[in-house]
Amino acid sequence: MATERSLAALLRSLQIAAEPEDAYALLPASTSFLSILTNPLNVTLLSSQLLTSPAIWNHPVDLQTCRRILSVYNTAAIGILQNEAAEEPRTPYAPRRGLEREAWVKAVVNGADEKSPRWRHLLLLGGVLLGFEGQNRQGLPSRIRSKVESALVKATQLALQESEPLDGIAGHCITMVLNYTFELLSDWQRSQLDYDRLLPIMVQATYFSGEGLDHAYFLGAIDRDVVEAPGKKFKWSSKSTTYNHVKAISSRPLVASLGPLSRLIAHALENVRDPNLVSDAVNSISDFVRTLLVQWRQNKLSEVDPSEETEFLEEESLKTTIPDLWRLLRACMFSVVIIFRAVLGRVLNDPALAAGSVAPFIAMQSLHILRNLYFITSRVGQNASSQYTFVNLVAIDILTQYPDLAENFLRTIKPAELGQIPEHPLERCLDLFFLNTAEHFTLTLPPQSNEELIISAALPYLAAGGNNALLEIFEAAHSVVLAVFAAPQNADVAAKHLPFYVDNLFAVFPQNLSARQFRLAFKSVVQITTPPSPLASSQPLLASTLLELVHDRAYHASSTVLPPTPQASAGKEDAANSTPLSEQAALTLALIDSLSLLRVDDLEEWLPLTAKLINSIQDSGMRNTCVERFWDALSSGEMDVQRANFCVTWWSTRGGRELVLFGEQQQQQQQSSHEEAVMSGGLGPVAPESKL
């Protein structure tokens, strides 16, 4: 009787509570009553009242309120399991604490009646399913679990068909509950969902609603709280309103579980029946990402290059506020990448999307989105996610099938002012994306476009290696220029710009270019000028000229050990490439690297010259490094059969071994000693006859 009186008081309080906070204070008691009541009708009544209480629902409702109600049913279900698992024996004839689980599930589910809208039923059904089956509890018999899953899916379908607008709390609640319970549903039940109705609701709730990322407006609002601190540094205080707003966004139910939610949206994209909905979702996310980039551009923090943050950002901001912001931005980036992994997978497998202009349109949209996210991606690293690599390369592969569209795309993302380095870090970041992306299209573009778009964009960065803020884009510029030169249709472009590039290459080494980078660039240039490259036909002496340049410079280069490069300091180079080298040794190694590209006739000339150059190195450690690399080039399979055969002959029978290991003087001595040696008993040299 006491329990019934307490229940009656609780139900009365739920009806007459004036403020939501008063009703929220009653939720712990409601949870306790749900798990201990023994009358199924009382359980059903309380369950129904929680979904209809005016104190809770007759006010503006957010997802935090919905999650409180979900938690009531979830915790009560866990309480039922705990009641049955209690180890202490009950007193004989003592009343049971709560209902048996099957009876309890039936009683609670009966509370999802016509008095409450369908979308609230998801809170009840989702809470029950999570309580019994979440975290691998396996608390329900398969028959009952199947019924609960079916009821949840049916309630979702009915909620999607109701006349109530689903761009408000109803849609947000459907999104949240499905996100929490989707992994618990069987494949059959998942297939019964109407993804055509569900997809737009989830995208809107996640990226544009006040319960999600809210159009990314939070990023631009931060600017007003970024102020100048002593020492001319930017400060974003942890006590500022905008920082607290960012923390609040990160704790929102949809944002806190953004990873699983993104996978749910991706699943919906893979299963929608109407292909137009895929394009609509792409457009929506494109709008969000474009706003994200614009908001970042309006933020003072975007003016600080990542390599200069310790110099221009205050300590509290570096340790507390800004890391929290980047965690949220990284979550946004990975969320979009997960979704576009599904989009491009659908494009590859759906004939309706692969045909016509839809596929290149989606590919261009995908690359535009990746570009707008690049200020985040460049911090994480392009290779940090296999899904990012998939999205990037698949979009590029699709677009390369449409050369005109590919060229138009590159023209839309080219640097605003070709021929100069922008001052703003964000503009340089976008230039980096352009160079990295354009490298994949050098075979697709005509020579004029390669020269006009790519070479012009890369030229100002080719000599920028000494600036740590430009190191990555400096490498990208060299890489894309070499890709242009290597394209078969660009032989004339290569012949025109190669002299400038080689001059620049020798000018920036070793001050602004590491030995590893120089060796790679020089070998690539030699490869461009040797067969089967078209340039080798029009300029047959170019390769020998390049080798003469590096050979001559090596003889006059410094033998002082080069200082460690930023890459080696950061641990980005392997042990072989981080061996201390002088400028002379690095140039010698560059010459050795190129030997496998030469014709046999040229090898006959350059093998002895290279061996002599190796022996001109005074430092024994560096000389041994060059000898090992020389032997590796000759014997490890870099050469083809014809070249390798000549190298073996030169090494074994033409004095190559002696020249490399002992030097030219000792080689001559050994050769002369071999000439004087005769068989025992043999005739010596015959004296010439005297003239009469």
Residue 226 DSSP label? E
Q: Which pLDDT band, with edges at 50, 70 and 90, does 668 fall under?
A: low
Considering the domain architecture, whether residues 43 and 156 belong to the same structural domain is answered as yes
Mind listing the pLDDT tens digit for each residue in 557-603?
A: 998 998 876 554 444 454 445 578 999 999 999 999 999 999 998 99
Rounded Cα gap, residues 258 and 126, in angstroms: 18
Considering the domain architecture, whether residues 379 and 445 belong to the same structural domain is answered as no
Q: Which pLDDT band, with edges at 50, 70 and 90, does 540 fall under?
A: confident
Q: Is residue 512 situated within a structural domain?
A: no
Rounded Cα gap, residues 150 and 55, in angstroms: 30
Instruction: Give φ, ψ of 268 to 5 degrees.
Output: -65, -40
Q: Kindly tell me if the per-residue pLDDT of 95 is higher than 80.
A: no
Q: Where are the alpha helices (DSSP H) in 439-470?
A: 447-449, 456-458
- C-beta atoms surrounding 67 within 10 Å: 19
> What pLDDT score does 674 carry?
47
Residue 229 DSSP label? E
Considering the domain architecture, whether residues 220 and 360 belong to the same structural domain is answered as yes
Most confident of the following: 137-141, 331-335, 352-356: 331-335
> What pLDDT score does 684 carry?
45
Considering the domain architecture, whether residues 39 and 150 belong to the same structural domain is answered as yes
Q: Is residue 686 situated within a structural domain?
A: no
- C-beta atoms surrounding 638 within 10 Å: 15
> What pLDDT score does 96 carry?
55
Residue 93 DSSP label? T
Q: Kindly tell me if the per-residue pLDDT of 246 is higher than 50.
A: yes
Work out the average pLDDT over 551-555.
Answer: 93
Q: Kindly tell me if the per-residue pLDDT of 1 is higher than 60.
A: no
Chain-centroid distance of CA 366 in Å reads: 14
Q: Is residue 573 situated within a structural domain?
A: no
Q: Is residue 474 situated within a structural domain?
A: yes
Element (H, E) at 503: helix 491-508
Number of domains in the chain: 3
Q: How high is the mean pLDDT of the chain? A: 88
Considering the domain architecture, whether residues 480 and 334 belong to the same structural domain is answered as no
Percent of the chain with pLDDT over 90: 68
Q: Kindly tell me if the per-residue pLDDT of 682 is higher than 50.
A: no
Considering the domain architecture, whether residues 1 and 76 belong to the same structural domain is answered as yes
Mind listing the pLDDT tens digit for each residue in 113-155?
A: 999 999 999 999 999 999 999 998 888 999 999 999 999 999 9
> What pLDDT score does 481 carry?
95
Q: Which pLDDT band, with edges at 50, 70 and 90, does 525 fall under?
A: very high
Considering the domain architecture, whether residues 363 and 395 belong to the same structural domain is answered as yes
> What pLDDT score does 666 carry?
54
Considering the domain architecture, whether residues 168 and 100 belong to the same structural domain is answered as yes
Question: 579-606: buried (b, 16+ CB within 10 Å) or exposed (e) per residue?
Answer: eebbbbbbbbbbbbbbbbbbbeebbeeb
Q: Of 488, 521, 541, which one is at a domain's C-terminal end?
A: 488
Q: Is residue 521 situated within a structural domain?
A: no
**Candidate from 52-66, 498-512, 673-687 with smallest mean pLDDT:** 673-687
> What pLDDT score does 654 carry?
85
Work out the average pLDDT over 311-331.
Answer: 94
Work out the average pLDDT over 444-451.
Answer: 95
Rounded Cα gap, residues 318 and 233, in angstroms: 11
Rounded Cα gap, residues 343 and 366, in angstroms: 9
Work out the average pLDDT over 630-647.
Answer: 90
- C-beta atoms surrounding 270 within 10 Å: 16
> What pLDDT score does 163 carry?
62
Q: Is residue 317 situated within a structural domain?
A: yes
Q: Of 133, 167, 193, which one is at a domain's C-terminal end?
A: 193
> What pLDDT score does 236 carry?
94
467-473: long-range pairs with CB below 8 Å, 24+: 468/307, 468/566, 469/305, 469/307, 469/308, 469/425, 469/428, 470/421, 470/428, 471/307, 471/566, 472/378, 472/432, 473/428, 473/431, 473/432, 473/435
Terminal-to-terminal C-alpha distance of the chain:
152
Chain-centroid distance of CA 116 in Å reads: 44
Work out the average pLDDT over 601-612.
Answer: 92
Q: Is residue 611 situated within a structural domain?
A: no
pTM of the model: 0.88
Q: Is residue 615 situated within a structural domain?
A: no
- C-beta atoms surrounding 645 within 10 Å: 12
Paired residues of 582 in beta bridges: 561
Question: 514-546: buried (b, 16+ CB within 10 Å) or exposed (e) per residue?
Answer: bbbbbbbbbbbbbbbbbeebbbbeebeebbbeb
Q: Which tokens sit at 160?
A: 């999607």
> What pLDDT score does 468 carry?
73
Q: Where are the alpha helices (DSSP H) in 350-487?
A: 351-354, 358-372, 374-380, 386-400, 403-413, 425-438, 447-449, 456-458, 471-486
Q: Which pLDDT band, with edges at 50, 70 and 90, does 97 fall under?
A: low
Considering the domain architecture, whether residues 114 and 184 belong to the same structural domain is answered as yes
**Candidate from 214-218, 383-387, 404-408, 446-450 with smallest mean pLDDT:** 383-387
Give the structural domain span for 58. 1-88+95-193
Q: Kindly tell me if the per-residue pLDDT of 165 is higher than 80.
A: no
Which is higher by pLDDT, 98 or 102? 102
Q: Kindly tell me if the per-residue pLDDT of 296 is higher than 50.
A: yes
Which is higher by pLDDT, 672 or 73? 73
Work out the average pLDDT over 19-24.
Answer: 87
Mind listing the pLDDT tens digit for each residue in 255-269?
A: 999 999 999 999 999
Q: Of 401, 431, 462, which one is at a domain's C-terminal end?
A: 401
Work out the average pLDDT over 634-651.
Answer: 90
Helices (H) then strands (E): counts for the chain: 40, 2
> What pLDDT score does 680 carry?
44
Which is higher by pLDDT, 572 or 483? 483
Considering the domain architecture, whether residues 375 and 426 belong to the same structural domain is answered as no
Q: Kindly tell me if the per-residue pLDDT of 495 is higher than 70.
A: yes
Work out the average pLDDT over 511-522.
Answer: 88
Mind listing the pLDDT tens digit for each residue in 188-214?
A: 999 999 999 999 999 999 999 999 999
> What pLDDT score does 167 carry?
77
Considering the domain architecture, whether residues 433 and 358 belong to the same structural domain is answered as no
> What pLDDT score does 434 carry?
97
Chain-centroid distance of CA 630 in Å reads: 38
Considering the domain architecture, whether residues 433 and 384 belong to the same structural domain is answered as no
